[in-house]
Amino acid sequence: MALFVCAPFLGPTLGPLIGGFVAESKGWRWTQWVILFFTVAFLSPAFFMSETYRKQILQRRAKRQGNGTELRRTETAASRASRAAQGMQALLMNTIGRPVHMLVTEPIIGLFSLYVAFIFAMQYAFFAAYPWVFSTTYGFSLGAQGLTFLGLGVGCVLGFTTICASNIWFDKPRAQRWRERQQIDQEAAAQSNQGVLEAGGPKPARTAPPPEFVLSIAFPGSVVLPAALFMFAWTARPSVHWIVPIIAETLFGTSNLLIFMACALYLANTYGPMYGASAMAACSLLRYVLGAVFPLFILQMYKALGTGWATSLLGFVSVVMGLVPWGFVRWGERLRGMSKYPCEG
């Protein structure tokens, strides 16, 4: 899953790198041709892949076996139209209505989605801000401006490595210790209440840790993210070597991925297989809305406030937003109890 999450963050950092040199040597129109070439190259294999959605597999199997043929023969045109309308209504409700409803009614989804959307929007805003900063401050050419995004790319790779290492050497042993403590507590409760348990039967021990366990990777990210923004804000100046703000980009990219991965795991573990996809859809909806809005005003903000205070403003907001994962550790169980949807843990 870490690789799946890393791809949307790593891809946009490579785009400006390639596009900068293409635009510099061939003109901006060729950037669109390059996108088309990459799209054809990477999308073509999808036509030769097998279906993996279980529902579709079962429906195709039933169709091949001829199940439901007699039922389809007896159906009238009106009944088929009614069934199609009901199916479309259910599809719209599940794909659009439910995520929007969860976004505005579920505090867990609303708060975490706002935090992740803000960080995601900052990354897309920096696609416009970074070229301006490095061209005006350091005099970088169009091609060299694209190279500055390598900092974000390296940050994504470091974030991916950190997630994998944390899962192997920290999360799994910690979850195992939690299960062992649960088993010990269960046995102790059974011995101390033997008479009651013999009559009513023991309560089954929980086999999975609470969803807050996955937030551990968000804690360093919530601290490093504002630090990286403040570092970029006050080192992107002619008197400081250009590698220093690029290192700040790397730290931003790492913390960005850590926070988003924690959000994805937390929402999936909280709402389970039934509503986890809708929770992630709600998060994605807000992410891409803010990701489209921020680039519209970011250059004006940087030109008006300057690199230092414009980036610091984002840093101050990220400090406040960084309290979200810490707050879920304290009040997550209570918020799950208030949810209108079934929650795990």
Helix (H), strand (E), coil (C) string for 125-183: HHHHHHHHHHHHHHCCCHHHHHHCCHHHHHHHHHHHHHHHHHHHHHHHHHHHHHHHHHH
* Encoded amino acid at 280, one letter: M
CB 123 within 8 A of CB 156: no
In sign, the C-alpha dihedral spanning 332, 338, 339, 345 is positive
What pTM did the predictor assign?
A: 0.81
Q: Which domains does the chain carry?
A: 118-170+212-339 (1.20.1250.20)
Torsions phi, psi for 318 (to 5 deg): -70, -30
What's the confidence (pLDDT) of residue 68? 52
Residue 322: strand, helix, or coil: coil
Neighbours of 240 (CB within 10 A): 13
Sorting pLDDT into bands at 50, 70 and 90, what band is 205? low
Q: What's the confidence (pLDDT) of residue 66? A: 67
What's the mean pLDDT in 10-20? 79
First to last CA, the chain: 21
What percent of the chain shows pLDDT beyond 90? 48
Predicted pLDDT at 71 = 46
DSSP state of 279: H
pLDDT greater than 80 at residue 206: no
Contact 332, 212 (CB under 8 A): yes
Residue 285 clears pLDDT 60, i.e. is over it: yes
